[in-house]
Amino acid sequence: MERRFLWVAMGLAVVVVIAVAAAALLRGGTTVPYNGSIIDPPSPAADFGLTGPGGRTARLSDYRGKVVLLYFGYTNCPDFCPNTMGVLRKVRADLGAQADQVQVLLVTTDPARDTPERLANYLAAFDSTFIGLTGAEADLQAVYAGYGVTVMDEGTTHSTRVYVVDAGGNLRLTLPYGLTAAQVTADLRRILQGD
């Protein structure tokens, strides 16, 4: 009699556990959100022209056809910039063959010190494909304004988000500082697949 009661109780416990697990699965079975902040609807990214490697003018629109990761920072930055560049280096490595479809651009917030050569040397330490851009103060200020970038204290205080511009030149996503390379890679794969 007691043994039968035990079997019934165990059976009920198993049913309860299965029901709870099924409810949890159903509740979590919705679309996985992006890790970054999606911009809805995608908005045309403001085009600009700045001085790139070798003193040549580089425009954002030159990279149409690739997904551009646009960041604003400076080479003497002790924390946010090297950390972000480190994450983006890992992202490109993790993307494998798709890495060729991604271009990282760093626009300086410290044009007084960041010459094209200095930017190139700094970025080469992370990834030889990363491109640094600088320019006249007025030109840079226009670019900052076009992307809502806050730059203070002679460029040493600045916004830390990464802007993701899709192959069609539309702003699709911003990535807050602190995302892991795996999170960024997951978002980029979705954009590269046309999600």
Partner 1 sequence: MRKSIFVRVALSMVLGVLIAGVISEASFLLQDNVSRPPQEVVLVIPNGAAAQTALGQSVLAQELVLVAGDTLVVRNEDVTAHTLGPLYIPPGASASLALDQPENVMVTCSFQPQQTFGLDVRESLTLDTRIQGILLAGVPMGVLLALYSVVIWPLKKAQPA
Shortest Cβ 17–partner 1 spacing (Å) = 16
- Which lies closer to partner 1 via its Cβ, residue 92 or residue 172? 172
Q: Which residue, 49, 110, 59, is CA-closest to 81? A: 110
Residues 123/107, Cβ–Cβ less than 8 Å:
no
- Which lies closer to partner 1 via its Cβ, residue 40 or residue 79? 40
The angle at the Cα of 54, spanning 148 to 58, to the nearest 5 degrees, equals 35
If residue 144 lies in a helix (H) or strand (E), which one and from where to where? helix 137-147
What is the residue whose two structure tokens read 């076009």? Answer: 146
- Which lies closer to partner 1 via its Cβ, residue 160 or residue 185? 160
Distance, CA of 68 to CA of 79 (rounded, Å): 22
- Which lies closer to partner 1 via its Cβ, residue 40 or residue 153? 40
Residues 38/171, Cβ–Cβ less than 8 Å:
no
Distance, CA of 106 to CA of 81 (rounded, Å): 9
- Which lies closer to partner 1 via its Cβ, residue 51 or residue 77? 77
Residues that bind partner 1 (CB under 8 A): 33, 37-43, 146-148, 150, 159-161, 163, 171, 174, 176-177
Shortest Cβ 184–partner 1 spacing (Å) = 13
* DSSP conformational letter for 134: B
Shortest Cβ 74–partner 1 spacing (Å) = 19
Structure tokens at 149: 């970038």
Shortest Cβ 181–partner 1 spacing (Å) = 17
Shortest Cβ 54–partner 1 spacing (Å) = 30
